[in-house]
């Protein structure tokens, strides 16, 4: 028998190899010859799809595995294999074996299952079952849990991204762009020249325009022009990077000392605060979670934190506008209530303090904790408990791409003891961990599935009995709940799945969090934070207690200094910009599913996403400020930045 074997090499830099590659086909009736794959000329070049002939003494029957081996030729040269296809002599059918893995080292061997998704109950042959077991045992040695900090979900056991296996690392292009883009941003802002003036304040608000050069966006420029306006301040609570904090207020909190007569001038003349509360037109943003968080010390200068409460009113003509601000959670008789009727600079500074708290909450809690770290738990558990042939592994794999590396980089470069948060953010240092621990005391699984996708693929392929009896699925959810979230006791995720609906819900949460939720918090951060006074990363003076004492000099001495401002702008551009190698939601470069039924569902999903995008664009047409962060073409399939 002669089989036609097609081998596809990866398309990224350094995917090709000059090492020896061997293949063995394994079927129900035996194995083929171990065959070196060697055509005239160069084999396994970057992006190549090469055909070879593999011989067997007899018909192998239905194919189960493809065994690939790599051996050194002169020097070690890693190889990324996308897939292997095998055509059977005399038959129209062919087998596809998805790989999407690196072969690293000399005399390395990997075995690939045929691409049809299979639950453990679908495998009946001893070879199939032993392969599943061996694959998971090997992965469990490679991917290990680490308790990063008390009260925080566990993470991958890696001191830095360099400790990660090659299969979950950035491609070379991604790695080069990640490092290069930050250097570019810092150079564009002339940080090396400006940072010489450590601790020096800007002279006035217009000075911030000096770092608005090439790094800009239409929304960032709009923010620069309109950030002082009350209506724009209110707009950002619904359309900015942190839309989860605002709530409808039916009754004022007992610690918010605002009275009806204080805000009457902000309401329409024919109503009162009490009436608008009853009508549902009053809203509250409460940053109580910030209360008592220890502030950072940067270059021997203490930074400052507030825990403001902000009351907003849905005005029939002006839209959502702030009507009162209190900067402390435990006020006394001397605690000021800031109002739009106050001296303009006092009201402006009070709004800055609210936006400063927004920066802390959205960057650390809404963005890092509620998306990055939650999805990392799923990623590690998936790698440890679901074999590549499992339906759920195939479904989730595209939504876990690059997440482990970006999280490792975040822990070592962003929130580490000497990271960017420590250098420029008021919650850097000890406050960061305390704030994170507080968030996980209140974050629940139920909250995460308040918005869901409907994954009909699972609905079609599974029944309640199959979910409950799937030992790999049960090991997976147990690992998520008992290992990943063991230090988050109030999270509320059960350690077993009993029904199809529970599985659908969990998968929906994972995919929604890694796509739409992450896009909503991450993608607009440069737009809203590039103009530093709109969303300052730190405050260098305490909150004001005397409205009449607020001057422009006090405001400039309170806002981030020159070097802090430059770094805030550079980092938010670096992390919020569109990634050059982004894979949009619903596009699957790595095709783990091969069967027609699954491909049909994927095609239907893509069409629905296209219709949704057209609807979003139509809704935004003609708007000066457009909300396009959740266009499917602008949402990545996974958390990669």
Residue among 581, 574, 156 nearest 405 (CA): 156
3-class DSSP state for residue 528?
helix
| Start-end of CATH 1.20.245.10 domains in the chain | 147-243+360-640
* SS3 (DSSP) at 25: strand
Sequence length of the chain is: 641
Cβ-proximal residues to 119 (8 Å cutoff; 6+ apart), any chain: 390, 391, 466, 470, 472, 473
Q: Vertex 84, ends 640 and 142: CA angle to 5°?
A: 50
Is 282 marked within a binding site? Answer: no
Long-range contacts at 183-190 (CB < 8 A, ≥ 24 apart): 185/215, 185/569, 185/570, 185/571, 185/573, 185/574, 186/566, 186/567, 186/570, 188/213, 188/214, 188/215, 188/570, 189/213, 189/215, 189/566, 189/569, 189/570, 190/566
**What is the largest distance, in Å, between two alpha-carbon atoms of the chain?**
94
Over 310-336, what HEC string results? EEEEEECCCEEEEEEEECCCCCCCCCC
Cα–Cα distances (Å) from 640 to 2, 141, 216, 275, 613, in that order, read: 43, 24, 22, 47, 22
Q: Give dist(CA 271, CA 640) in Å, integer.
A: 49
CATH for 2-114 is 2.60.60.20
The answer to whether 204 touches 552, Cβ cutoff 8 Å, is yes
Instruction: Give the pLDDT confidence score for residue 458 in this predicted structure.
Output: 46
DSSP string, 292-311: TPPPPEETTEE-B----EEE
* CA neighbor of 400 nearest in space, from 629, 182, 143: 143
Residue intervals of the chain classified under CATH 2.60.60.20 are 2-114
DSSP-derived pairing of the beta strands 94-103 and 35-36: unpaired
CA distance 35 to 51: 13
Check residue 613 and give its pLDDT.
Answer: 97
Burial 327-350 (b: 16+ CB within 10 A, else e): bbbeeeeeebbbbbebeebbbbbb
Residue 40's CB is within 10 A of a number of other CB atoms, namely: 5
* 603 is annotated as contributing to ligand binding: no
Question: Cα-flanking dihedrals φ and ψ of residue 89, to 5°?
Answer: -60, 130
What pLDDT, on a 0 to 100 scale, did the predictor assign at position 586? Answer: 94
Full-model pTM: 0.95
Instruction: Tell me: is residue 287 an annotated ligand-binding position.
Output: no
Interacting residues of 151 by C-beta distance below 8 A, sequence separation 6+: 436, 437, 440, 441, 487, 488
Structure tokens at 475: 């090991």
C-alpha neighbours within 13 Å on the C-beta side of residue 12: 20
Q: Class assignment of domain 147-243+360-640?
A: mainly alpha
Q: For residue 4, count other CB atoms closer than 10 A to its CB.
A: 14
HEC per residue, 401-412: CCHHHHHHHHHH
Parts of the chain with a pLDDT under 50: 192, 196, 453-460
The confidence score (pLDDT) of residue 460 equals: 46
Can you give the C-alpha Rg of the chain in angstroms? 28
The SS3 assignment for 473 reads helix
Name the token pair of 616: 């979003």
Write the DSSP string, 362-413.
IIIIIIIIIIIIHHHHHHHHHHHH--TTSHHHHHHGGGSTTHHHHHHHIIII
Give the Cα separation of 326 and 291 in Å (integer): 13
**Could you give the strand order of the β-sheet that contains 319-326, starting from the edge strand earlier in sequence?**
246-248, 282-286, 309-315, 319-326
511 is an annotated ligand-binding site residue: no
Closest CA to 283 of 234, 316, 327: 234
421-458 residue pLDDT tens: 999 999 999 999 999 999 999 998 888 876 554 443 44
Give me the pLDDT at residue 194, please: 55
CB 85 within 8 A of CB 97: yes
Distance separating alpha carbons of residues 95 and 599, to the nearest angstrom: 15
Q: Distances from the Cα of 99 to the Cαs of 25, 82, 236, 482, in angstroms?
A: 15, 5, 44, 30
Is residue 77 part of an annotated ligand binding site?
Answer: yes
Q: Is 372 annotated as a binding residue?
A: yes
* Residue-level pLDDT at 203: 87
Predicted confidence at residue 616, as pLDDT, reads: 97
Q: Contacts for 89-93 with beta carbons within 8 Å, 24 or more apart?
A: 89/1, 89/2, 89/3
């Amino acid at each position: 028998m002669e089989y036609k074997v097609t081998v596809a090499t990866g398309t990224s830099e350094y995917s090709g190899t000059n090492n020896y590659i061997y293949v063995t086909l394994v079927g129900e009736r035996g194995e083929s010859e171990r065959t070196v794959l060697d055509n005239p000329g160069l084999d396994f070049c970057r992006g190549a799809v090469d055909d070879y002939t593999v011989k067997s003494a007899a018909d192998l029957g239905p194919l189960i595995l493809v065994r690939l081996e790599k051996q050194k030729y002169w020097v070690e040269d890693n190889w990324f294999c996308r897939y292997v296809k095998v055509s059977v002599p005399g038959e129209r059918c062919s087998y596809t074996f998805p790989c999407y893995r690196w072969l690293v080292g000399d005399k390395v061997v990997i075995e690939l299952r045929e691409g049809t998704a299979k639950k453990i109950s679908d495998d009946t042959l001893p070879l199939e079952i032993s392969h599943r077991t061996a694959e998971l045992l090997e992965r469990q040695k490679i991917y290990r849990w680490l308790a990063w900090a008390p009260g925080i979900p566990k993470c991958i056991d890696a001191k830095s991204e360099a400790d990660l296996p090659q299969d979950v690392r950035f491609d070379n292009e991604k790695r080069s762009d990640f490092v290069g883009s930050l250097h570019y941003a810092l150079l564009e802002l002339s940080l090396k020249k400006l940072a010489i003036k450590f601790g020096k304040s800007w002279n006035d608000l217009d000075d911030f325009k000096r770092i608005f050069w090439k790094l800009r966006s239409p929304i960032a420029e709009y923010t620069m022009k309109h950030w002082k306006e009350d209506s724009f301040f209110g707009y950002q609570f619904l359309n900015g990077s942190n839309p989860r904090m605002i709530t409808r207020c039916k009754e004022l909190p007992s610690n918010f000392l605002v009275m009806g007569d204080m805000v009457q001038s902000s309401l329409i003349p024919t109503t009162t605060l009490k009436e608008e509360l009853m009508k549902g037109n009053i809203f509250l943003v409460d940053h109580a979670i910030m209360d008592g968080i220890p502030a950072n010390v940067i270059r021997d200068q203490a930074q400052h934190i507030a825990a403001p409460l902000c009351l907003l009113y849905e005005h029939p003509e002006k839209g959502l506008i702030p009507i009162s601000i209190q900067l402390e959670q435990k006020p006394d008789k001397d605690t000021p209530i800031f109002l739009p009727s106050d001296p303009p600079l006092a009201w402006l500074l009070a709004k800055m303090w609210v936006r400063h708290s927004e920066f802390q909450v959205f960057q650390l809690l809404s963005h890092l904790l509620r998306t990055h770290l939650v999805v990392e738990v799923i990623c590690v558990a998936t790698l440890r408990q679901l074999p590549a042939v499992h339906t759920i592994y195939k479904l989730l794999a595209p939504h876990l791409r690059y997440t482990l590396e970006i999280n490792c980089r975040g822990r070592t470069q962003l929130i580490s003891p000497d990271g960017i948060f420590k250098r420029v953010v008021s919650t850097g240092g000890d406050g960061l961990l305390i704030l994170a621990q507080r968030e996980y005391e209140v974050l629940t699984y139920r909250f995460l599935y308040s918005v869901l996708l409907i994954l009909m693929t699972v609905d079609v392929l599974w029944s309640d009995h199959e979910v409950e009896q799937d030992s790999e699925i049960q090991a997976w959810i147990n690992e998520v709940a008992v290992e990943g979230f063991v230090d988050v006791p109030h999270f509320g995720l059960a350690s077993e799945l009993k029904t199809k609906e529970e599985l659908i819900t969990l998968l929906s949460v994972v995919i929604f969090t890694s796509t739409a939720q992450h896009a909503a918090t991450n993608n607009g951060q440069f737009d809203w934070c590039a103009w530093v006074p709109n969303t300052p990363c730190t405050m260098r003076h305490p909150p004001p207690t005397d409205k009449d004492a607020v001057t422009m000099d006090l405001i400039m001495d309170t806002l981030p200094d020159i070097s802090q401002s430059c770094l805030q702008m550079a980092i938010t551009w670096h992390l919020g910009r569109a990634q050059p190698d982004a894979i949009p939601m619903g596009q699957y470069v790595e095709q783990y599913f091969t069967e027609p039924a699954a491909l049909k569902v994927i095609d239907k999903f893509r069409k629905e996403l296209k219709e949704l995008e057209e609807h979003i664009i139509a809704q935004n047409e003609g708007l000066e400020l457009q909300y396009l962060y959740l266009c499917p073409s602008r949402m990545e399939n996974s958390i990669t930045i």
